[in-house]
Amino acid sequence: MPDRQLLHLVIGGELSGVGENQFRDLSKVDFVGAYPSYEEAHTAWKSKALSTVDNALVRYFIIHAHKLLDPEEEHHEH
């Protein structure tokens, strides 16, 4: 049986304020992509984060979407 797919999403955009994790305008959120490993997602995240370093309100995030797809699994990991 093949390894389970681990889905990582990279998104970003302008936040409401410095130190907040709320996007100013959800219609302008940048969906960078979906990646099968954390390493690939981190590479994409780093590229976007470095390209927007001059704007303190723009942030990019890695979402571990595989944990959202099967919330019961989290209970089995502990």
Report the pLDDT value the prediction gives residue 70, as an integer from 0 to 100. 65
Domain CATH number, residue 30: 3.30.70.2400
Which of residues 1 and 61 earns the better pLDDT score? Answer: 61
Residues 6+ apart with CB under 8 A from 15: 21, 22, 23, 24, 57, 58, 59
Give the residue-averaged pLDDT of 38-63.
95
Question: What global pTM score does this model have?
Answer: 0.79
Q: Is residue 3 part of a domain?
A: no
The yes-or-no verdict on residue 8 having pLDDT over 60 is yes
Domain hosting residue 34, numbered range: 8-77
Tens of pLDDT, residues 24-48 = 999 999 999 999 999 999 999 999 9
C-alpha 78/C-alpha 74 separation (Å) is 7
Which of residues 3 and 65 earns the better pLDDT score? Answer: 65
Q: Is residue 30 part of a domain?
A: yes
Count of domains in the chain? 1
Q: Is residue 45 part of a domain?
A: yes
Q: Is residue 1 part of a domain?
A: no
Q: Is residue 34 part of a domain?
A: yes
